[in-house]
């Protein structure tokens, strides 16, 4: 016979704390009472009764010198008020998860919101929660009730849940209500409850028989039964294994066992071991055996129960209370989401910060554990001169902070790169290699890292790789890294190449910024490679669109062409014949009459007609003449000689 016992079976930390408190107080207090049954389990109630811990349903039943234990289910405010009025001493064992719900309900109610609770109306936890909104909450216990809900116009709603409510039903109810009205959703189901229910499903799917241990009045126990029954027809609910009987299960080869949050460890042990090894031990002794002892400073293993929406991690420590790793104690890196690192069922090492944080939890730290290993890794990298990875997380005065093996390490601005960096924020979020430059192995306070040498090495390797593979004529992709007056530098993957302004277009470019800006992705042609000088010349022009390819025919000597004056020089005027081709009209070819300056006759932008007088394709030069398109002036007749007057 194979038995699968759920890891999450039995007491949740809230119940553990309440039961443990009751047993501890029973040793020193004579008139001790629990306000309602401290747990939905007759075995525990009877055992406590024998030790002098009595159950009362009203504070009127308690004597004036009596002391009251408030169970993990919690109570409404009126009970606290009554305790104060009667001057009764009490021990508040309300589950921290339930207290959180009380705070939410009270806050939203005070803000004028209507409260909706998913849960059983008569369950003591729900009764207690409802008291924090003056018993005005709407209680929804089923999907059908959610479908029948009609919101009031103008009302704002807030939804909370009984901690042991069935997770899949809550999710469906929340979806239905969200479609009906604007509602704030607070998924206050205990992480341990969700884990217990999910584990029950997984076990029920693979066994022939499923046994649910717990009191039949326990809400979470009944839910485990209902969930398991869906996947395993042979599911049994019993308070103890004896109630079920061995004969009922011996015929099954594979049996699953889980237990509700109110089922003590002794009952579970009885189911697995049939009490054979523990028959002479009391319930209290077996309970004590199942709970470990913790001290501040201990490093222990725990099993992750789950991660809350705020990033707090709940951990099962096999202690009377479960542990909590707050988000701030999970990692020194504020950008890390614990939900991305751990999940339910993971076994992790934790450091015990405080055995009781004031709300019944054990305060834990993961980053303290990580720090021990992190310092060892950093010290090893420092001593060996090896490279260690880190992630830049923030900018500070004088440099950056990088998380290296979970430790905050300072990186001076002069050490982040091999060249000056104006905007250090551009490094935030990057994972980079570092060298440890300074390390104080005594105080561990001054740790300095840098990557200046590494950056230069990376660039040298990239440059070498580029120059080994790049060839003249290659068409390659790059990113504009810098704009200057005479052109633009393009990052080709570790090496910058230059596009001169004259190579940006076949047409005329006045300003580089008219064509490109930093960050632009471009496809360029390699014009020249000089590995010795580390220079690469590039062109942005489309070589297939080179207008000089058809120039021989279009601009043959003797052809008359049209163009626009684009530039004046002392010896003539340049005329743009088409985008990428200019011709020169020499000053002597502007007109038949003598021209002192080109601008005396021509103006920028003027359209002219000229004859091609010379075409030099090799040097891409065209000579033009305007005057040869003009009629030649006739020669002026010489003036007649004057006849001398007769005397």
32's enclosing H/E stretch is strand 32-35
Give every strand in the sheet of 138-140, ordered side by side: 138-140, 114-118, 157-161, 183-185
Task: Compute the distance between CA of residue 36 and CA of residue 317 in angstroms, rounded to an integer.
Answer: 28
**Encoding tokens for residue 495?**
């090496």
Coil, strand, or helix at residue 178? Answer: helix
Task: Compute the distance between CA of residue 208 and CA of residue 258 in angstroms, rounded to an integer.
Answer: 14
Taking alpha carbons only, the member of 521, 580, 504, 583 closest to residue 545 is 580
Task: Compute the distance between CA of residue 72 and CA of residue 262 in angstroms, rounded to an integer.
Answer: 10
Task: Compute the distance between CA of residue 591 and CA of residue 583 in angstroms, rounded to an integer.
Answer: 16
Q: Say if CB 150 and CB 140 are below 8 A apart.
A: no
167's enclosing H/E stretch is helix 167-180
Taking alpha carbons only, the member of 564, 566, 567 closest to residue 607 is 564
**Encoding tokens for residue 549?**
């390819």
Task: Compute the distance between CA of residue 323 and CA of residue 397 in angstroms, rounded to an integer.
Answer: 37
Active site positions, annotated: 125
The dihedral through the CA atoms of 192, 302, 265, 73 has a sign that is negative
**Encoding tokens for residue 195?**
């884990």
Token match 């010795």: residue? 532
Task: Compute the distance between CA of residue 605 and CA of residue 234 in angstroms, rounded to an integer.
Answer: 96
Total residue count of the chain as it appears in this document: 647
Task: Compute the distance between CA of residue 34 and CA of residue 18 in angstroms, rounded to an integer.
Answer: 10
Q: Calculate the alpha carbon distances from 32 to 37, 52, 73, 495 in Å.
A: 13, 7, 18, 81
């Amino acid at each position: 016979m194979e038995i699968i016992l759920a890891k999450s079976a039995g007491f949740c930390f809230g119940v553990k704390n309440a039961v443990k408190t009751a047993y501890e107080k029973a040793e020193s207090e004579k008139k001790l009472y629990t306000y309602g049954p401290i747990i939905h389990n007759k075995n525990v109630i009877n055992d406590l009764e024998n030790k002098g811990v009595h159950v009362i349903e009203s504070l009127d039943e308690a004597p004036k010198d009596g002391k009251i234990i408030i169970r993990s289910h919690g109570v409404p405010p009126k009970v606290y008020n009554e305790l104060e009025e009667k001057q009764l001493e009490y021990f508040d064992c309300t589950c921290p998860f339930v207290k959180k719900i009380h705070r939410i309900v009270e806050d939203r109610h005070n803000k004028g919101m209507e409260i909706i609770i998913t849960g059983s109306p008569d369950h003591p936890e729900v009764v207690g929660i409802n008291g924090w909104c003056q018993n005005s909450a709407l209680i929804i216990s089923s999907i059908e009730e959610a479908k029948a809900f009609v919101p009031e116009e103008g009302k704002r709603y807030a939804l909370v849940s009984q901690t042991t409510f069935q997770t899949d039903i809550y999710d469906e109810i929340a979806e239905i209500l969200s479609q009906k009205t604007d509602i704030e959703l607070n998924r206050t189901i205990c992480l341990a409850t969700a884990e217990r229910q999910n584990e029950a499903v997984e076990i029920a799917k693979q066994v022939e028989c499923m046994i649910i241990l717990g009191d039949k009045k326990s809400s979470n126990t009944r839910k485990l039964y209902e969930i398991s029954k869906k996947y395993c027809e042979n599911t049994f609910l019993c308070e103890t294994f004896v109630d079920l009987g061995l004969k009922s299960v011996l015929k099954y080869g594979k049996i699953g066992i889980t237990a509700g949050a109110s089922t003590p460890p002794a009952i579970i042990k009885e189911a697995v071991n049939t009490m054979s090894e523990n028959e002479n031990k009391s319930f209290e002794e077996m309970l004590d055996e199942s709970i470990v002892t913790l001290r501040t400073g201990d490093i222990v293993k725990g099993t992750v129960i789950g991660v809350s929406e705020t990033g707090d991690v709940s951990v099962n420590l096999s202690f009377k209370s479960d542990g909590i790793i707050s988000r701030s104690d999970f990692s020194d890196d504020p950008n890390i989401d614990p939900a991305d690192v751990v999940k339910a069922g993971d076994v992790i090492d934790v450091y015990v910060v405080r055995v009781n944080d004031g709300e019944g939890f054990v305060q834990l730290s993961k980053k303290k554990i990580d720090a021990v290993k992190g310092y060892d890794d950093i010290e090893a990298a420092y001593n060996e001169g090896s490279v260690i990875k880190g992630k830049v997380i923030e900018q500070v005065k004088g440099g950056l902070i990088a998380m290296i093996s979970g430790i905050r390490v300072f990186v001076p601005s002069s050490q982040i790169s091999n060249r000056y960096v104006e905007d250090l924020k551009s490094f935030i979020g990057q994972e980079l290699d570092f060298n440890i430059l300074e390390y104080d192995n005594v105080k561990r306070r001054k740790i300095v890292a840098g990557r200046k040498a590494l950056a230069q090495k990376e660039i040298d390797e990239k440059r070498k790789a580029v120059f080994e593979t790049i060839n003249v004529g290659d068409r390659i992709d790059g990113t504009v890294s810098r704009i200057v007056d005479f052109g633009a530098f393009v990052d080709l993957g570790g090496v910058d190449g230059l596009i001169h302004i004259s190579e940006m277009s076949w047409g005329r470019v006045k300003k580089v910024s008219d064509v490109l800006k930093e960050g632009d992705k471009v496809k360029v042609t390699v014009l020249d490679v000089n590995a010795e000088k580390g220079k690469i010349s590039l062109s942005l022009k489309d070589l297939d669109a080179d207008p000089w390819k058809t120039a021989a025919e279009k601009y043959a000597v003797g052809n008359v062409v049209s163009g626009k004056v684009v530039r004046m020089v002392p010896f003539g005027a340049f005329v743009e014949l088409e985008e990428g081709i200019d011709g020169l009209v020499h000053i002597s070819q502007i007109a038949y009459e003598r021209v002192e300056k080109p601008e005396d006759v021509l103006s920028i932008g003027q359209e002219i007609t000229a004859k091609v007088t010379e075409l030099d394709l090799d040097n891409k030069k065209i000579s033009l003449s305007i005057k040869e398109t003009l009629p030649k002036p006739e020669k002026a007749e010489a003036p007649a000689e004057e006849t001398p007057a007769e005397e």
